[in-house]
Structure 1
Amino acid sequence: MASKRFDQDTLPSAVQASQPWPRDAWYVACTPDEIDGKPLGRQICGERMVFFRAGNGMVSALEDFCPHRGAPLSLGFIENGSLVCGYHGLAMGCDGRTTGMPNQRVKGFPPIRTFPVIERYGFIWVWPGNAEHADAAKLRHLEWAESDAWAYGGGLYHVNCDYRLMIDNLMDLTHETYVHGSSIGQKEIDETPVKTRVEGDEVVTSRYIDGITAPPFWQMALRGAGLPDTGTVDRWQICRFSLPSSVLIEVGVALEGKGGYDAENTSKVYGMVVDFMTPETENSHWYFWGMARRFAVQDTALTETIRDGQGKIFAEDMEILHRQQDNLDRFPERKLLLLNIDAGGVRSRMMIDKAIAAEAANAGG
């Protein structure tokens, strides 16, 4: 496929959308340990929020704004199930209403904004848009997070780039050859054509690479599963984007000739790379990453080894993405080339733009 340039029709979200993210959707806000006994302030989709666990054990999310003097509520503390402002001691309930303040009458204060939240799959999710539209049924089902047949380890990075640049990165793994050459990259990746398709509400890119030597990360995984790490393998990468901003990537290697992706579990190591991008501002986002796997699931030491290795791999992307964003900010008028390997990212952005446009139409109607 010949190269051409991005323009406003092929990639409208890059230059046109005043709101670069859907709002009526569930985003990962934090993990339970981040609000263990304390409030957490986090900006999501441009909204400053505070998350805390109320007296009933449920997680609540309020706007991070004390109605008394405007101080961030996230600078406060939890007491008797209420969120107490760290400036003058105004206590807030999970419904956004004031519950008390030393020697003051405050229960007549108007409530502040609350945000719908769900705690599920090991994450706390928030709906930054119209609360009346929030529907728990719209949260994507994550089978690996509920099954004892899977093990999971992950982490969080704050990334100084547009969340859509990370989606581009994850939907085109050609860069692994160059950015991750010491861990998961190998020349056969960019030598193998990538296929892109839309399946229902997902954009899918896939590569199947047969008869290769496993790169270092997968050699480690083979050893962890008790399989030989010196022979040739068949490898696969299947990236799935879904709204509002997640990419789940099926990855693995199987001993050559055993069936590749469809090989028996005893002949392969495979997992799901988990990527949730939660926009903070137009040029920054929260990146919740991890790997769920279906081999040696009881081996907690292996879970930590994989988590540490994966964390280092993602850290390698950070400098690229930060500098890419810096260049795009410096030269906003520059047109970017579009190649066939970019199809997954482009289609994902088109899906995002469609969701943003639908929200705008509904708000206008």
Structure 2
Amino acid sequence: MTTSTERSTGAGRAKSTAKLLNFPLNCWYVAAWDHEVTAQKPLARRLCDIPVVLYRTKDDGRAVALADACWHRLAPLSQGKLVGDNEIACPYHGLRFNPAGRCTHMPAQETINPSATVPSYPIVERYRFVWIWLGDPDKADPALIPDMHQMDSPDWAGDGKTIHAEANYQLIVDNLMDLTHEEFVHGSSIGQEELSESDFDTEHDDRTVTVTRWMHDIYPPPFWRKNLRDKFPGYDGKVDRWQIVEFQAPSTVRIDVGVAKAGSGAELGERAEGVNGFVMNTITPETGRTAHYFWAFMRNYCLDKQLLTTQTRDGVSNVFGEDEAMLKAQQEAIEANPDHEFYSLNIDMGGMWVRRLVERMLDAEGRPTDLSKARG
């Protein structure tokens, strides 16, 4: 793993085209929360510009993902109904397809055309999510699913939501890799000026990028002051604050965050005198300008307090609402200024490495790296 230390202030700049990245397909994306996929009604979702229908089989409850277009006349299967133990029926002429995508019934004839199939995509359920592989199915290795084990660990509690983001998925990843924006976008909750003043380390390998930032002997912002007092009622002193942002290809960002009483050894791993959370983020492109943004906030303190889970989820949701508005405005500005070039500061180091890794994935698949080339 390569390591570099960058200061968040500085005049060094790199210039690059303000491009919106295309999306690799030989990788795992989240298609839905596990509770969204049912055996009662098909779920339609566009993933990486591919229409997909999701449902559960009634016989064993497993999740299924098929192309959302009937072999016969391309009618959306998601508008059909689930029949029998594990099949879906087309709403137009009643053709039925099994989980492998093979037609099992055609109306008014006994012989079924052997070519009557629709694509079936590999599915894995893990960490409260349904993961889908949209590329070469022979390469669908479950070991490549990003690590989000805090989502279903008994040592962590929390909940999350989905944002339908009106922005290219890479803009969301860029936003998560540089948290100095919190000082300006989230000043009333988690932002503070020490974010821009602190040093950070950047590490990377062929599938991950990690940005680590520590802020010592500071007063916590409102969000963390409240959470610290939930565990230590009445505490009003200074803290050591950390943000450890880990990108996992192609678009998952897991952020280890928290504060501990100043000088209590948090940076050395002694976090008992603090509160620790993980902001879990995984983004699935919908189209080149929209994305499904699945997120959750997980904590390892006050595990039995459902009220705290709900309050924290709603509080983080309000914070992300501010990000959502900014990302939409940025997307619109990029489209309005197609010849503009990005200027990258030192604080963009993590995001720049992420883009390099994604571009390598796209090159390996022989796919264009940016959407303007992809669409000719």
Q: Greater relative contact order (Cα 8 A, min sep 6): structure 1 or 2?
A: 2
Q: Where does residue 89 of structure 1 map in the other structure?
A: 94
Q: Where does residue 103 of structure 2 map in the other structure?
A: 98
Q: Where does residue 49 of structure 2 map in the other structure?
A: 46
CA distance in 1, matches of 2:74, 2:229: 55
Q: Where does residue 248 of structure 1 map in the other structure?
A: 254
**Counterparts of residues 55-66 of structure 1 (less than 5 Å):** 55=58, 56-66=60-70
Q: Where does residue 337 of structure 1 map in the other structure?
A: 343
Percent identity between the two aligned chains: 38
Q: Do 1:156 and 1:288's aligned partners in 2 also have CA atoms closer than 8 Å?
A: yes
Instruction: Measure how far apart 1:199 and its partner are.
Output: 4.9
CA distance in 2, matches of 1:324, 1:287: 16
What per-residue deviation string (whole Å, max 9, x for no partner) do you get for residues 207-259 of structure 1?
11111221111122113223444221110011111101111111000011211
Instruction: Measure how far apart 1:265 and its partner are.
Output: 4.2
Q: Do 2:87 and 2:99's aligned partners in 1 also have CA atoms closer than 8 Å?
A: yes
1:203 and 2:206 aligned: no
Structure 2 residue ranges without an equivalent (≥5): 1-9, 368-376
Match of 1:315 among 294, 298, 321: 321
CA distance in 1, matches of 2:147, 2:344: 33
Aligned residues: 354
Q: Where does residue 286 of structure 2 map in the other structure?
A: 280
- TM-score with structure 2 length normalisation? 0.89
Q: Where does residue 78 of structure 1 map in the other structure?
A: 82
**Counterparts of residues 1-365 of structure 1 (less than 5 Å):** 1-7=10-16, 14=19, 20-36=22-38, 37-55=40-58, 56-80=60-84, 81-101=86-106, 103-105=108-110, 107-108=112-113, 110-199=116-205, 201-262=207-268, 264-360=270-366
The code of the aligned residue for 1:4 comes to R
Instruction: Measure how far apart 1:198 and its partner are.
Output: 1.6
Describe the shift of the 1:106–1:312 C-alpha distance in structure 2 as closer, same or farther (beyond 3 A): farther
Q: Do 1:5 and 1:335's aligned partners in 2 also have CA atoms closer than 8 Å?
A: no
Q: Do 2:246 and 2:253's aligned partners in 1 also have CA atoms closer than 8 Å?
A: yes
CA distance in 2, matches of 1:203, 1:263: 21
CA distance in 1, matches of 2:148, 2:15: 34
Instruction: Measure how far apart 1:102 and its partner are.
Output: 5.2
Instruction: Measure how far apart 1:101 and its partner are.
Output: 5.0
Q: Do 1:214 and 1:229's aligned partners in 2 also have CA atoms closer than 8 Å?
A: no
Q: Do 2:250 and 2:358's aligned partners in 1 also have CA atoms closer than 8 Å?
A: yes
Instruction: Measure how far apart 1:342 and its partner are.
Output: 0.6
Instruction: Measure how far apart 1:143 and its partner are.
Output: 2.9
RMSD: 1.9
Higher mean displacement: 324-333 or 261-270 = 261-270
SS of 2:285's partner is strand
CA distance in 2, matches of 1:329, 1:105: 53
The code of the aligned residue for 1:343 comes to M
The code of the aligned residue for 2:15 comes to F
The code of the aligned residue for 2:248 comes to S
